Amino acid sequence: MPRTGKNNERTEQVLQGRKKPASIAPIHPQAYHSDKVYNDLAKFLSENPYPVLRIHKNGTVLYANKASEKLLKAADSDIGKPAPQEWRRLAKEVLVSGCVAGTEAKDDGHVFALRAVPVVESNYVNFYGIDITERKTLEKTLEKEQQELRLIIDSSPIIVFYKDKEGRFARVNKAFAEALNIPEEKFLGRTVFDFYSADIAQKMTDDDLQIFKTGRPKLNIVEQYESARGIRWVQTDKVPIFDKDGILAGLVGFAQDITERKWAEQKIQEHQKRLKQLASQLTLVEEKERRRIAGEIHDGISQTLAMVKIKLDTLRNSLPSEASAAEIEKISSSVEKVIQETRTLTFELSNPILYELGFEAAVAEWLNDNVQEKHGIATEFHDDGLLKPLDDDLKVMLFRNVRELLTNCIKHAKAGKVSVGLRGIDDSIEVIVEDNGVGFDPAEVRATAGKKAKFGLFSIRENMENAGGRFEIQSKPGAGCKAVMTAPLRDESIKKEV
């Protein structure tokens, strides 16, 4: 024990710089070893690049290595003089508590973290410094960046919030607080159940749990809720947040009120629906006008021409001159040609078979006359024979759609064979137009229809959807085309009740 006390005394002398350890003869190995330790300790403390100081309980600086000189100068102190007030206070605190304590000190450009360490059974405290200049610079930079980020987030009109993995709000921006008219601090530590109705809060929580479970973001979440301003729609994107070890820490959400956009979309949809209805009505009005004109041509011009031909034939038979009869024959032939052209025009304007014999007969007749006879393309017509009652408007629309599809086959398909099939399925009619032509890519046709001003297939689809039906195209280059239209049949039971 006496040896230990002596060692402490000599160590203090070394730290104070008042005495250098004397050399001891080699014949005393233990003493030699002790002196070498003191020499090495003195050298280590003196050359240490970090500050090392010793402060007495009365506040006097007992020792300071070279690295501490600037620190003492900056604090207006020196060895043998009172240490800075903060250091003296810390030294007393450490001597009383026996626990390590710390503070910070600066010199001409460096920042040091000073740790005051009590020495057992002594009246002084050792201070050890670590240069934390770089860390402090990084902290300031980080703090500045955080402030800037906070400013950006708070200035954003988009709602931003952060939740921990228990679903509690850890931070929200001003936009969120203003949207719910609740102070920002009121959100901290609370969940959506504190601010929303139970059903909406549960839906939000389910989305959060899915993100926590999968570790994947959930985007474009559209939610509707009641507020003081009425029904509101909000679109939210939620992204999981992971700590540096890759462990899920929570999620960050970005939300914006899209109520105005939703109302605008609804208005656009209503306008589009109205435009479709007007387009369908226009088509029906056009068909009625066609039918009226065709009727007038048939009942007026065609009948008049037929009477003229009869009179010309009668006149020709009564003329004695063969030359005059021949001229009358030519005129009669010309009139006959006009009568045929008028009949063709009448059918093109409005097919009377559609109204007199029905949809099936009109499709079969047009397929035979205008596809097979006129263009030499082989045709097939299939009908299941079931009763398929159609409203006049739908009958007209389906016939025009079939005619449009067959015309496309004639113009573009380069087909050798075309077929049309009709069948009843429950309360609907299915019309299938199929060819073995060159085919096409339906997606490409839809994409380029507007640029090429070709709206035939688009019009068919719009007409069918507006009538409560649907239109599908199955085709690919080199594999022909199959077009399927499905439309609702007329409810005969309602007709009978009425």
Listed by start position, the domains of the chain span 2-132, 156-257, 259-350, 351-498
Is 2-132's fold the same as 156-257's? yes
Q: What is the pLDDT of residue 498?
A: 32
The string over 257-268, giving b where at least 16 C-beta atoms fall within 10 Å of a residue's C-beta and e elsewhere, is bbbeebeeeeee
Q: What is the pLDDT of residue 17?
A: 45
Q: What is the pLDDT of residue 56?
A: 92
- Who wins on pLDDT, 412 or 325? 412
Query: Per mean pLDDT, which of 2-11, 29-38, 246-255 is the most reliable?
Result: 246-255
Q: What is the pLDDT of residue 45?
A: 67
Say what percent of the chain tops pLDDT 70. 83
Query: What is the mean predicted confidence (pLDDT) over 110-139?
Result: 88
**Closest Cα partner for 235 from 317, 152, 159, 136?**
159
Position 118 pLDDT exceeds 80: yes
CA angle 288, 290, 294 (to 5 degrees): 120
Task: Report long-range pairs for 368-377 (Cβ below 8 Å, ≥24 apart).
Answer: 370/406, 370/410, 371/406, 371/409, 371/410, 371/418, 375/410, 377/409, 377/410, 377/415, 377/416, 377/417, 377/418
Query: What is the mean predicted confidence (pLDDT) over 7-21?
Result: 45
Q: Is residue 54 a contact partner of residue 63, using CB atoms and an 8 Å limit?
A: yes
Query: What is the mean predicted confidence (pLDDT) over 415-421?
Result: 92
Q: What is the pLDDT of residue 150?
A: 78
Which range is least confidently modeled, 168-172, 279-283, 306-310, 396-400? 279-283
Query: Per mean pLDDT, which of 22-31, 154-163, 350-359 is the most reliable?
Result: 154-163
Q: What is the pLDDT of residue 151?
A: 79
- Who wins on pLDDT, 323 or 398? 398
Q: Taking the chain, what is the end-to-end CA distance rounded to the nearest angstrom?
A: 121
Q: What is the pLDDT of residue 27?
A: 37
In this structure, whether the domain defined by 156-257 belongs to CATH 3.20.20.70 is answered with no
Query: What is the mean predicted confidence (pLDDT) over 131-158?
Result: 84
Considering the four listed CATH numbers 3.30.450.20, 3.20.20.70, 3.40.50.10320, 1.10.3720.10, the one that applies to the domain covering 2-132 is 3.30.450.20
What CATH homologous superfamily does 351-498 map to? Histidine kinase-like ATPase, C-terminal domain (3.30.565.10)
CA distance 371 to 365: 10
Query: What is the mean predicted confidence (pLDDT) over 146-164?
Result: 83
Q: What is the pLDDT of residue 36?
A: 54
Query: What is the mean predicted confidence (pLDDT) over 430-443?
Result: 90
Q: What is the pLDDT of residue 447?
A: 67
Position 5 pLDDT exceeds 80: no
